[in-house]
């Protein structure tokens, strides 16, 4: 016989389990990595990662590794996302483009910091699941649009900041054109078996880059051989 009371207890215990893991993630992965901005820590502490992970991978939601999905997309590990956002300095009136938004988690976290977030994704199944996850997380300022990643989303730009959710070789000119003057681009660059997070600021139509930290982030296949803007 179905016991509704027991079912509620099980669900509550499951939710408490993930809340504990999320707090542990912040205290043992994010803070020790040098992330100190209160708004970044609060964003990571408030968005349930487990909502954005397929059912068979939910137990891995808070591991200190990238989570790779069957589609080839991935969820960047918490400390890397925290350090990237620490350096990007998103403001609460910013509009932000997330390129290769995948499961929607990064876009959801950025949604806690910015006024508007637009995620670009080419995988229809991921678009549907990420939209649902964003709704379940109670975030109402994130839009997911279907497009080739290298084209961005001109219809909602220009943007104060653009984030590539995965390593790239080059930034396409069409995406460079979608960031405002004095806007920022955050990207992971893969060169000679080394991946480095960098922040670029657009001044007079040209990006000036600074290195932030080395990391382990997979390359997005859509950007491996683009012959466009080079560093």
**What torsion do the CA atoms of 101, 107, 108, 114 make, to the nearest 10 degrees?**
-170
* Best CA proximity match to 106, nearest among 85, 92, 129: 85
Q: How far apart are CA 77 and CA 85, in angstroms?
A: 13
In the numeric block, the tokens 């487990």 are attached to 50
Phi, psi of 214 (to 5 degrees): -85, 150
Measured CA angle at 71 (ends 231, 153), to 5 deg:
50
Beta strands across the sheet bearing 159-168: 142-146, 116-121, 95-99, 159-168, 179-191, 194-203, 206-215
For residues 141 and 117, the answer to whether their CB atoms sit within 8 Å is: yes
pLDDT for the residue numbered 147:
95
End-to-end Cα, the chain, rounded Å:
65
Q: Which domains does the chain have, with CATH numbers?
A: 4-223 (3.40.50.150)
Phi, psi of 169 (to 5 degrees): -100, -40
**Per-residue pLDDT for the chain (231 aa), expressed as one digit of tens each?**
444 444 444 545 556 789 999 999 999 999 999 999 999 999 999 999 999 999 999 999 999 999 998 888 899 999 999 999 999 999 999 999 999 999 999 999 999 999 999 999 999 999 999 999 999 999 999 999 999 999 999 999 999 999 999 999 889 999 999 999 999 999 999 887 789 999 999 999 999 999 999 999 999 888 876 444 444
């Amino acid at each position: 016989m179905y016991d509704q009371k027991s079912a509620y207890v099980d669900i509550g215990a499951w939710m408490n389990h993930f809340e504990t893991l999320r707090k542990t993630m912040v205290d043992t992965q994010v803070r020790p990595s040098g992330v100190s901005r209160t708004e970044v820590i609060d964003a990571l502490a408030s968005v349930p990662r487990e909502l954005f992970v397929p059912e068979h991978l939910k137990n891995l939601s808070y591991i200190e590794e990238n989570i790779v999905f069957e589609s080839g997309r991935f969820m960047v590990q918490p400390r890397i996302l925290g350090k990237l956002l620490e350096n990007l300095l998103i403001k609460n009136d910013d509009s932000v483009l997330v390129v290769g938004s995948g499961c929607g988690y990064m876009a959801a976290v950025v949604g806690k910091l910015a006024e508007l977030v637009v995620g670009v994704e080419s995988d229809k199944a991921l678009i549907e699941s990420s939209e649902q996850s964003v709704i379940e997380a109670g975030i109402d300022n994130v839009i997911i649009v279907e497009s080739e990643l290298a084209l961005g989303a001109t219809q909602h730009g220009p943007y104060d900041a653009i984030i590539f959710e995965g390593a790239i070789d080059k930034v396409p000119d069409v995406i460079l054109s979608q960031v405002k003057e004095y806007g920022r681009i955050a990207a992971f660059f893969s060169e000679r078996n080394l991946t480095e997070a960098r922040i670029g600021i657009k001044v007079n139509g040209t990006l000036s880059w600074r290195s932030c930290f080395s990391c382990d982030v997979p390359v997005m296949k859509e950007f491996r051989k683009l012959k466009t803007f080079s560093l």
